[in-house]
Amino acid sequence: MTDALKPGATIGILGGGQLGRMLSVAASRLGFKTHIFDPGANPPAGQVADQVTTAGYEDSAALLAFANAVDVVTYEFENIPTAALDIIESHGPIRPSREALRISQDRLTEKTFLQSLDLHIAPFADITDAASLEAALAEIGTPAILKTRRFGYDGKGQARIMSPDQADEALNAMAGAPSVLEGFVNFSHEVSVIAARGITGEVACYDPGENVHRDGILHTTTVPARLSASQRMDAVLLAAKVLNALDYVGVLGVELFVTPQGLVVNEIAPRVHNSGHWTQNGCAVDQFEQHIRAVAGWPLGDGQRHSDVVMENLIGDDMDRLPELAKERDCALHLYGKAEAKPGRKMAHVNRITRPQK
């Protein structure tokens, strides 16, 4: 821990949503202060952070002041404007690195990167116009999914193509944005691996969780996932491959499709991940603390799980169930401090401890 940040140091976090909030709380457990940078007023993370800067990512003066006030900068989301990162990086380290952001900000770049590591991914093609889409559909076949290269999350910016005659409609849905066509993967279920790499190159993985989505948004993550021992090993090895290739520092989420032919990488997220929230009640060191440990140059937790957990997201008016959930035994509540419960808005999650493990 010679180069490690000492307790009392300040960790800057770009983005003050629920991930920034839970990173902030984890940082406090290690004696760090946090400083949140967010364009929106009263971000959820601001309620538990030492300092908050409310400014846009185009506000150079605010970015400079922020970068000067903190000892390291990390982030809770990947779509940070490049110019903002340039300003921050001229004043101190950004962890995980720019390279991880560059790759994960663009689906085409990400897929090309994953392919270069010999990982299994769905067939894909760069789509720039109707002609390239037609050619790609001929090659990849249907069903397929057209996705914008950038700024997609929670099922947004996607259009499913069940037959070639739906190509035009799908392309229109992209509104002229550069896109990528993905072949359909015939998977039995989806799992994700939350993996971390420390500043000295050590790697630690949590047990894979099994994800169920509803309306394109993560609904539950169940640990342990249905995986064979060899699949479990594959998941860890491929996550480590990604981390090492990026010389990564921090927590990374890897979404995987489970198929009869093996694991297929869906996407990676260079940050703490919704499917890793279960670690808060399943491990001594959760994904948020793991991320803070990594970016602060501390030793990582080993990912050891003390309990089986089922995480469930509370979206929009799921919050009406709060009085009942608060009465449930072995059910840990995690609310995000958001003022208004809009449809589709992640408001909270619960971690149900289902069985201790060792």
Q: Residue 43 or residue 208: which is nearer to its own copies going by CB? A: 43
Tokens of 281: 């009640």
How far apart are CB 7 and its own copies at their closest, in Å? 5
Q: Residue 24 or residue 104: which is nearer to its own copies going by CB? A: 24
SS3 assignment, position 151: coil
State how far the Cα of 327 lies from the Cα of 336, in Å rounded to an integer.
19
Is 213 annotated to bind a ligand? Reply is yes
Within 10 angstroms of residue 139's Cβ, the number of other Cβ atoms is 12
Contacting residue, 39, 47, 55, 102, with its own copies by CB under 8 A: 47
Is 183 annotated to bind a ligand? Reply is yes
When asked if residue 348 is in the footprint of its own copies (CB under 8 A), the reply is yes
Q: Is the bond into 299 cis (omega within 30 degrees of 0)?
A: no
Among residues 61, 74, 65, the alpha carbon closest in space to that of 26 is found at 74
Is 154 annotated to bind a ligand? Reply is yes
* Strand duo 209-214 + 217-223: pairing: antiparallel
State how far the Cα of 320 lies from the Cα of 316, in Å rounded to an integer.
9
Residues 20 to 39 in contact with its own copies, rule: CB under 8 A: 21, 24-25, 28-31, 33
Q: How many residues bind its own copies (CB under 8 A)?
A: 50
When asked if residue 18 is in the footprint of its own copies (CB under 8 A), the reply is no
Long-range Cβ pairs for the range 213-216 (8 Å, 24+): 213/155, 215/155, 215/344, 216/154, 216/155, 216/156, 216/158
Is 184 annotated to bind a ligand? Reply is yes
Long-range Cβ pairs for the range 341-347 (8 Å, 24+): 341/316, 341/317, 342/316, 343/315, 343/316, 343/317, 344/154, 344/215, 344/217, 344/315, 344/316, 345/315, 345/316, 346/18, 346/217, 346/274, 346/313, 346/314, 346/315, 347/314, 347/315, 347/316, 347/318, 347/319
Is 267 annotated to bind a ligand? Reply is yes
When asked if residue 353 is in the footprint of its own copies (CB under 8 A), the reply is yes
The set of residues, in sequence order, having a beta carbon less than 8 Å from that of 228 and lying 6+ positions away, is none
Q: Which amino acid is at 261?
A: Q
How far apart are CB 191 and its own copies at their closest, in Å? 23
When asked if residue 4 is in the footprint of its own copies (CB under 8 A), the reply is yes
When asked if residue 336 is in the footprint of its own copies (CB under 8 A), the reply is yes
Give the range of 102-110, 159-167, 212-220, 293-301 binding its own copies by CB under 8 A: 293-301
When asked if residue 332 is in the footprint of its own copies (CB under 8 A), the reply is yes
- Residue span 301-330 as binding mask against its own copies, x where in contact by CB under 8 A, dash where not: xx-x-xx-----------x--xx--xx-xx
When asked if residue 168 is in the footprint of its own copies (CB under 8 A), the reply is no
When asked if residue 117 is in the footprint of its own copies (CB under 8 A), the reply is no
When asked if residue 7 is in the footprint of its own copies (CB under 8 A), the reply is yes
How far apart are CB 199 and its own copies at their closest, in Å? 13
The set of residues, in sequence order, having a beta carbon less than 8 Å from that of 60 and lying 6+ positions away, is 87
Q: Residue 152 or residue 299: which is nearer to its own copies going by CB? A: 299
How far apart are CB 24 and its own copies at their closest, in Å? 8
- From the annotation, which residues make up the binding site for ATP? 107, 147, 152-158, 182-185, 190, 213, 266-267
Q: Under the rule (CB under 8 A), what is the footprint of its own copies?
A: 1, 4, 7-8, 21, 24-25, 28-31, 33, 46-50, 281, 284-285, 293, 298-299, 301-302, 304, 306-307, 319, 322-323, 326-327, 329-337, 339, 348, 351, 353, 355-358
